[in-house]
Amino acid sequence: MAAESPSPPKNIVLIGFMGSGKSSIARELSHTLGYPVVDTDVLIVKQAGKPIRKIFEDEGEDAFRDLESAILRKLEESLPTRRIIATGGGVIVRPENREILRRLGFVVWLVVSAEEIMRRTGKNRDRPLLNNEDQKGTIGRLLKERCELYRGTAHQEIETDDLTFPEITTGIVESARYFFAR
Ligand code: S3P
């Protein structure tokens, strides 16, 4: 008799631009569903032993992206299931990552406008890619570069600008039920 194939992982994966609310929504989802949160940025910081800003300063963006890909591969190997996985905004830049994300579970893109991103990230200095004179221009350029990559990776997109965190969470929980029941 053929061995039964393992059932696909039932994780909810949050992707989206910096300031799209991934970490906050992950906490809400965790509270609602009782699933633990895994945050790829947190794992990267742990692994590197220094903050993201310092990784960018000392080793550059490519080294950060290598760490990010390695963390995703590790997550897939350990086959975590029933987790809420929050990711960094640039995780979709590498094709390898996009494939892993979709295999990890139900991928939700938290869509947010440039204006809202400016409002939320404006004074925060922890995001190296936005630490420059032309924050507005950088956000516009990165959004343009990344929009189709988010869209191509996500199973579902949610426009978040006019919704509260509980509203977004309820929408994700309902859609995830349909997705995992397929
Ligand atoms: C990045 C987003 C950040 C972090 C790093 C790079 C990006 O995460 O991974 O600064 O390229 O958009 P958040 O989206 O959680 O801010």
Q: Measure CA 132 to chain center.
A: 23
Whether ligand 1 lies within 6 angstroms of the CB of 16 is answered as no
How far is the CA of 119 from the CAs of 20, 129, 132, 136, 146, in angstroms?
A: 11, 16, 16, 10, 20
- Asked whether the beta carbons of 153 and 92 are under 8 A apart, the reply is yes
| Residue 109, SS3 per DSSP | strand
Of the candidates 49, 39, 127, 30, which has an alpha carbon nearest to the alpha carbon of residue 85?
39
Domains of the chain: 12-181 (3.40.50.300)
Specify the pLDDT at position 5: 57
pLDDT along the chain (182 residues), means of 10: 64 97 97 96 97 96 97 89 96 98 97 94 82 91 98 98 96 96 87
Q: How far does residue 176's CA lie from ligand 1's centre (Å)?
A: 24
List the residue whose alpha carbon is closest to atom 4 of ligand 1.
88
- Global pTM? 0.95
- Phi then psi for 88, rounded to 5 degrees? -75, 155
CA 174 to ligand 1 center in whole angstroms:
27
Which residue matches tokens 């080294």? 63
The pLDDT assigned to 6 comes to: 63
Return the pLDDT at 3: 54
Ligand 1 atom nearest the C-alpha of 53 is: 10
Helix 40-48 vs helix 61-77: crossing angle, to nearest 10:
110
Closest CA to 86 of 44, 116, 55: 44
Q: How far is the CA of 19 from the centre of ligand 1 (A)?
A: 9
**What pLDDT, on a 0 to 100 scale, did the predictor assign at position 123?**
72
pLDDT at 131: 87
The whole-number pLDDT of residue 9 equals: 80
